[in-house]
Every structure is written in structure tokens, then in C-alpha cells.
Amino acid sequence: MNELTTLQSDSSASLWIHNLVDGMAGMTMKAKHAAFCGASRFQKIEIFDTYAFGRVLLMAGNLVFTEKDENIYHEMICHPAMLKHPSPQSVCIIGGGDGGCLREVLKHPTVQRIMVVDIDALVKKTVETYFPAMAKGFSDPRVQLAIDDGCAFLEKCGDQFDVILIDSYDPGGPVQSLETANFYKLVKSRLAPGGIAVFQTDSPVIKSDFLRKTMVGVSPYLSAQRPYICTIPSFPMGICSFLMCANAKKDLDKANTERVNEIAAGCSYFCGDILQGAFLLPKQIRQSLDM
């Protein structure tokens, strides 16, 4: 069952956001007030100002990101793959309408073209209004935007990319096609030689089945796989996982130290030590993945 975010008022008229796992446990944040509430044909989109996490974005009732720690998520889904590729020039971001992943990709000077794909145009419009620092990358001339289902886009697209970042995971949400064998096959077909793909795979503590399922589903197409993790305070159980994939193991082994240091200088979470440590999974997680 997906994370359930509910809003409740206590007896003193305070507004609380409860981000629960299976309705049983999770985190609670106190909100100052609602900043925006709208709906597209796909989902409800809400923004609240909170005391501890700044502005937060909810989509279809799910907490998507917070101002306080969105940088951790976006730095970690992006930079490990971008730095393990020797010279990423073309990048595709599936589900990147919030602009956060795009912002991080644009830190890499080798990039010449970025294709951002998102099924919901209201996401970009909302972020441009309420999180302008995240959305500023859309004005870069190297960026193209496609409002489309990510799977359908890859099926129609004849281009190949050095890095593909799948920044979209929402069981029961508007893009179920991103969890199918056909999608994994399309990702492989759209990777240029030496290309790297990254899938966001939720919490490895409470959703280890999803990470394991993704590894199994991707393996017939991209046999080289390396799961990694990062800590995000607002994420369920505080830990988020990702799966980095390529055609050959050698494509995932090394990162240029000079480039790592250059990128880390412009980040608030990512650095060389984090890049190394992210792939050192705790025993509990390794056992859940049969590693």
C-alpha cells in the first residue's frame, strides 16, 4: 500500500500533515497554512508551508518533496550516474517535471541536451510558481520538455541517451507503465553505448520487495546493477534507494575523482565520501536482496 498523507486539525486549529506507511507509522509535520491546491486530470496537487521543512509538495495525497531536503534526493539520483559516465552529453529525465533533477544535471559541463518527460503539465507550472529555484533550469536552451507518459515517449523516441534517470515512482499513480518489462526493455534500447540508467526504488527498509522486484525485472535487459541508498529525513523511514544499471559492469565501477570534487563543490549533500558510501549497503538490506 502506498504512503498515505492525511491532513488533520487539532483542537487548537493547528494543521498537521501525517505521512504514514500503510496507515500505521510514519512522520508528522506541523503546517502553517495551505499555499496551493489544484488538480489536473491525473492527480490533486497541494503545497503547504510547514514549520520544520519549509514548503512541501503533495501529489495525489503523497508527500513528494520538501524544501528542506529535496536537494539530497535530487543530488543522489543524478550525480552518481553522471559521474560514473566518462562524458555524459545527452540525458533523459523521466518524471522530471519538478525541475529538481534537471537542476542537478545542468551542473555537469559536458551536457549538451536534456530531455525532460512528465505526464502532468500542472507539476511544472506549480513548481515554477512556488519553487522557482528548482524550476529555473527549464529556461536553459539545452532543455526540451515533453508532456507525455514516459513509456510512450521512449517508444516513439528514436534518440539514444548517455544517462536516463527515472525520477518517478508512484504505485497506483498515473504512470503505471513505468513498472513493466516493456519499459525496462525500452530504457535499454534508448541507452547509448556505455550508457547508464537509474531507477528510484523507494525505501529499502519497508519496501525492499519493490527494489528486489525492480532488480529482477531489469536484469534481462541491463545485467550490470548496483543498488545504492541515501538518508532523507522526510522520506519513509528516512532511507531512499536507487538502482543504477548498465550493459556492462565496467560502466558502473569508476568515477573521475577530479570531476567528483568539482560537482561536490556545488552540492550540499553529495561528495566523494557519499559516492563511495552510498553503495555500501547495511547487512539487513543486503540480506533482503539476497546479495
- Residue type, position 51, single letter: Y
pLDDT over threshold 90, residue 142: yes
pTM listed for this prediction:
0.92
- What is d(CA 20, CA 18) in angstroms, rounded to the nearest whole number? 6
**Per-residue confidence band for 7, with pLDDT thresholds at 50, 70 and 90:** low
Catalytic residue (choose from 98, 162, 167, 170): 167
Closest CA to 22 of 147, 202, 207, 232: 207
At 124-140, the pLDDT tens digits run: 999 999 999 999 999 99
pLDDT over threshold 90, residue 235: no
167 included as an active-site residue: yes
- What is d(CA 116, CA 261) in angstroms, rounded to the nearest whole number? 26
Domain 4-66 sits in CATH 1.10.287.3610: no
Crossing angle of the two packed helices 208-218 and 181-189, in degrees rounded to 10: 60
Domain boundaries, the chain: 4-66, 70-288
Taking residues 63-73, what's their average pLDDT? 95
pLDDT over threshold 80, residue 5: no
At 191-211, the pLDDT tens digits run: 999 999 999 998 898 888 889
**Average pLDDT score over the chain:** 90
pLDDT over threshold 50, residue 20: yes
Closest CA to 131 of 223, 68, 220: 68
pLDDT value at position 205? 86
Q: Which CATH number fits domain 70-288: 3.40.50.150, 3.30.390.30, 3.10.129.10, 3.40.1360.10?
A: 3.40.50.150
